[in-house]
A and B are shown apart, each in its own frame.
Chain A
Amino acid sequence: MSAHANLERRRQAIYGWLLLSPAAVLLTLFAFYPSIATLWSSMFSRGTRRRPSEFVGTENYADLFADPTFWIVVKNNLLYAGVTIPVSIFIALSMALWANSKISARGFVRTAYFTPTVLPMIAAANLWLFFYTPGLGVLDQIGSLFGLPSVNWLGQPETALWAIIIVTIWKEAGFFMIFYLAALQTIPEDLKEAADIEGASRWTYTRRIVLPLLMPTTLFIAVNAMINSVKLIDHLFILTKGGPSDASKLILYYIWEMAFAFFDAPSAAAMTIMVIVVLGIVAAIQFFYLDKRTHYQ
């Protein structure tokens, strides 16, 4: 008897490992190993022909903390995340609530909102370059109609980062809206009717019933938006290249510059490790803290 049970258990275990192995192999190859390797190389000095690379411990990190550009980039990225995450979530939610209600041309509205997501970021950036270009751009054309002076949105430190932020929000909100729309479909129609009969206004219904039921989606979107706020830098290459004077430089762009423009791989590795650590901590907080306050159906 127990021999059979043992055999069965072993078979189940083998079955389980077989199912796990493709993902485990791929993740190890392309995520775990590179992370460890990055951590390792971040503790070595930059090798030159005269001075070969040697173990320096945390020296690369100390150098980074002393680098004023690093702090500008961190500040830029915090502002970038602090604005794009809440604003794109808010816009996505508003659009979803609207596109989910009984309006005419609902299909058109949904498609229109989703279009920016389908567009590759590089193409989208080129599009916005046309909007922002001083003199020729659409924004200036409209401004000149009202007698406003030409503004070089991407070319001055005060507006460059904000111009980037707007492109990101425009790009992300439609994507997040799709998730909200899907979640809204799962809320049964009769909850709205029950709330109606109980005398709840549209706003009360949205606040007390819809938003709490959308919490799992919001959590998912928030994590994604956070990751994107670090990951999404394609448009920087087209629009500003981090300038002027680092005003719109984000951390991943800086890492890329370090590694492939200045060929300082160890510094880039050190910065990468810090990004991974910070992202990990924030994701953990989001999941462990917010998860407890979220209702899953």
Chain B
Amino acid sequence: MTVSAFVKLDDVAKRWNGQLGVEGITLDIPEGSFTALLGPSGCGKSTTLRLLAGLEIPDEGKILIDGKDVTTSAASDRNLSMVFQSYALFPHLSVAENVVFGLKVRRVPKAERQQKLHRALEITGLLGFEGRKPGELSGGQRQRVALARAIVAGQRLCLMDEPLSNLDAKLRNAVRKDIKKLQRDLGITVVYVTHDQTEAMSMADTVVLMKDGHIQQIGAPEDLYSRPTNTFVAEFVGAPPMSLIASKALPGFGEDKTIGIRAENVQIAPKGEGRLRCTVIESEFLGSETLIGLGHADATGLCVLKPGLSMLSEGNELDITFADENLHVFDAAGQRLAG
């Protein structure tokens, strides 16, 4: 990377009563990028974001924003904005008052405040709702108020903590696109926490996958998908997740390794010519294709995709085959081996 990182976390750790929060978080976030912190609940992604926001102070490590050491600075001194999962709108204030709250606190002159408010409401499509209270808005509108409040001050760094989790599925798709567009148009740096891999994969330039307080892999969405560094990443990313086969079931791979293969790389072979013989355990019709779940004593999550509607009856035996170049090989500890 030629440009130095805009946001930098250096070996940051946070523990609660000796219990693990996050450990050894090292992360460089370039300016203008969209970074998603992804992981199952309790993995420390929200803690990482709160450390970045200044709502928690790390036990170890350093945090730099725009070259300035902010490790122990107050949240208000970090020049960032944040969208909360609950939106954290002030219930007694109108939309306009909510949005300009920070500007008022920072004593921005009234004319400038009005102008910025108008622009923020315009961008988020909230013009005409200035006088409403949050209680009189729908979930999607409240979410947009939270967004408007985050962008109104023109902070270069915006943190988002699962901002879409309270919306229904349809709205989520639309807002996802809106947020991505907003980030591009304004050129702001976004750090986005989510447990939904679709969100992370579709919006982010860089995905940081976490588990148990540790970073598992940092990379572009396609890296995580096509070159997972360990079996956790392999099984977390993608729908259906990568299937893992114990190497002893496949000749030529040794005894203690794990072999990963994605459903789209598995083909059905004529009887007797496949590399593995499995039994059909379920057929799931997805519309354009049918997902056939397969059972094998040495494999988990094995499945194959067939075009169109093609249900196979359960209990049938099926031979499958795959090319070696599509295999991911992990060592006994689950770490990816070169290749």
Contact = CB atoms under 8 A, between A and B. Distances in A.
Same assembly: yes
Interface of A: 188, 190-191, 193-201, 204, 208-209, 212-213, 295, 297
Interface stretch (B81-89, B170-178, B274-282, B315-323): B81-89
B106 interface: yes
A200 B75 contact: no
Contacts of B149: 198
Contacts, number: 61
Contacts of B84: 190, 193-194
A190 B84 CA distance: 8
B332 interface: no
A191 B88 contact: yes
A196 B92 contact: no
Contacts of A196: 54-55, 74-76
Contact of A213 (B75, B82, B92): B92
Given A188-B86, A190-B86, A204-B105, A197 B91 contact: no
Interface string B295-328: 0000000000000000000000000000000000
A27 to B, nearest CB: 33
Contacts of A199: 76, 102, 105-106
B88 A198 contact: no
Contacts of A204: 105
A197 B75 contact: yes
B207 interface: no
Contacts of A198: 76, 81, 101-102, 105, 149
B75 A212 contact: no
Contacts of B82: 193-194, 197
A55 B74 CA distance: 75
A201 B149 CA distance: 18
A198 B133 CA distance: 19
A212 B53 CA distance: 26
Contact of A193 (B88, B90, B133): B88
A188 B92 contact: no
16 contacts: A190-B84, A190-B86, A191-B88, A193-B75, A194-B88, A194-B90, A196-B54, A197-B80, A197-B82, A198-B81, A198-B149, A199-B102, A209-B90, A295-B92, A297-B91, A297-B135
Contacts of A193: 53, 55, 75, 82, 84, 88
Contacts of A209: 90, 92
Contacts of B90: 191, 194, 208-209
Q: Please give me the 4 A-B residue pairs with the lowest Cβ-Cβ distance, nearest first.
A: A198-B102, A295-B92, A199-B76, A194-B88
